[in-house]
Structure 1
Amino acid sequence: MSDLMLELTGIVKSYNRGKPGQVDVLRGADLQLKSGEVVALVAPSGAGKSTLLHIAGLLDTPNAGTVRLGGAELTGKSDRSRTATRRQDVGFIYQFHHLLPEFTAVENITLPQLANGISQRAATARAQDLLARVGLQDRGHHRPAALSGGEQQRVAFCRALANQPRVLLADEPTGNLDPGTSDQVFGALMELVAGTGMSALIATHNMELAARMDRMVRLENGVLVTV
């Protein structure tokens, strides 16, 4: 049985397709992520990192190519099927945490679990466990405005992992943090992922953080190359 968790094959994505001014962002990108592997995605701004992540996470569809998750081909599935797979199997982390300001840290982590059919008691227990693993066990009842930037991003990490996804996709997850906080927060993320069998694709400009991952790929002229 294959241990490939995420497989992108021949991914093509263009905007204004067939019109003057067409922009070709991805020109046949290929990527394979094994179970438990953490891969850094590096590229200059505007090269298409976010587009690639959105396609990998079933938020967008390619013009050509296939996306497989756990061996299942998902490119041609209905929006409903893709949404269900995304909710259960994919976790997203962005540069800005996007926490819900009116809810506490625990509640922010609990809500996606409730949407996935988990009981209130089990969801709360999972949220508290995740917060403890990133050193925020005493901050669970604080709203985002009462947390530092690094604390907010750690809560966002916990929220992304709340439903135990098979694939984690992160778009510059420490990009708005100072170097010291960035290092601390990245360490917390790696600890959360370690030992779960989850695959992670993490876009970053920080080459020191990229070097701490299992391997590195670069997006160049719309295709992925190994660094």
Structure 2
Amino acid sequence: MSDVAIRLTGIKKHYNAGKPNEIQVLRGAELSVGRGEVVALVAPSGAGKSTLLHIAGLLDTPDAGKVEIAGEDLTGRSDRARTNARRSQIGFVYQFHHLLPEFTAAENIILPQLAAGISRKEAEARAQELLDKVGVGKRADHRPGALSGGEQQRVAFCRALANGPGLLLADEPTGNLDPATSDQVFEALIALARDTGLAALIATHNMELAARMDRTVRLQDGVLV
């Protein structure tokens, strides 16, 4: 297995190609994140960090450049191949938790495991283990509407890690939380990353949180510095 969880090489992306209002978002962005490394992605609004994360997570395709996940070049692969890679190798966390409201916290973590072919018994044990690690194990049977914002986001982290991905991509995961709760949720995220040895690329506006990660990269004029 490659020691590099993700490598982006020469990533370019533009919108409205050939039109007067063409927007060049990414101009050859390059980044490598190693296994067990937690990297902060910092950029002002509109600079293209969500676009970069979508390309890194195989949700969007670059106009040019290469995306390698765990040493495998997935650029230009079929939709099915990219979907399979997302399911097995990548976890996503967004600013809003996007939990399914009709299911409990545990069920939200169990469902993606069942979709991956894991047995119900194993999925239940995995869900409880993850919830315990982030301090909300006693809330496993509660639906999202009965959880606090911080608890909801911690459950979202657990769901992202349910299938044991090697890479976690997070887009402003504490952006909707107050400072105290944000700090608690961030600590839970970092603890999960350290415990599982996964790589994490976390977009944030919070420079205090960014400073607590292994390193910070800034998206500026379409490239990473």
Task: Give your verdict on TM over 0.5.
Answer: yes
Q: Counterpart in 1 of 2:93?
A: 93
Measured after TM superposition, the shift of residue 196 of structure 1 is: 2.1
Distance apart, 1:3 and its partner CA: 1.7
Measure, in 2, the Cα distance between the counterparts of 1:2 and 1:115.
26
Q: Which residue of 2 aligns with 1:46?
A: 46
Unaligned 5+ segments in structure 2 are: none
**Counterpart for residue 75 of structure 2:** 75
Distance in 2, Cα, partners of 1:224 & 1:171: 16
Deviation at 1:180, TM superposition (A): 0.1
TM-score normalised by length of structure 1: 0.98
Q: Percent identity?
A: 72
How does 1:157-168 map onto structure 2 within 5 Å?
157-168=157-168
Instruction: Give CA deviations for 1:41-74 in whole Å, capped at 9, x if unaligned.
Output: 0000110010000000000000000000111100
Q: Give 1:195 deviation, angstroms.
A: 3.4
Could you tell me how far 1:76 is from its partner in structure 2? 1.4
Check conservation: 1:36, 1:195, Cα contact below 8 A.
Answer: no
1:185 and 2:188 matched: no
- Structure 1: which 5+ residue stretches go unaligned? none
In the aligned structure 2, how far is the partner of 1:4 from the partner of 1:132? 29
Using the size of structure 2 for normalisation, the TM-score is 0.98
Quote how far apart the aligned CAs of 1:144 are.
0.4
Residue 196 of structure 2 is aligned to residue 196 of structure 1: yes
CA displacement 1:163-209 (0-9 Å, x = unmatched): 11010000000000000000000000011111322110000000010
Deviation beyond 3 Å, 4+ runs, structure 1: none
How far, CA to CA, are the matches of 2:39 and 2:48 in structure 1? 16
Aligned partner of 1:144: which letter? P
Q: Distance in 1 between matches of 2:114 and 2:3?
A: 30
Structure 1 residue 137: Cα displacement: 1.1
Report the CA distance between 1:20 and its aligned residue.
2.0
Q: 2:16 maps to which residue?
A: 16
State the match for 2:155 in structure 1: 155
Aligned residue in 1 for 2:223: 223
What is the alpha-carbon distance in structure 2 between the residues aligned to residue 27 and residue 161 of structure 1?
A: 31
Q: Counterparts of 1:31 and 1:200 in 2: how far apart (Å)? A: 12
Secondary structure at 1:33's aligned position in 2? strand
SS of the equivalent of 2:137 reads: coil
Paired residue secondary structure (1:91): strand
Query: For each residue in 1:133-155, what CA deviation from the matched residue of structure 2 results, as whole angstroms up to 9, or x when unmatched?
Result: 11111100000000000000000
The more displaced of 115-124 and 1-10 is 1-10
Partner letter of residue 45 of structure 2? Answer: S
Offset at 1:2? 4.9
- Counterpart CA distance in 2 for 1:135 and 1:38 is 21
Name 2:27's counterpart in structure 1: 27
How many Å separate the matches in 1 of 2:4 and 2:142?
39
SS in 1 for 2:50: helix
Amino acid in structure 2 at the alignment position of 1:99: L
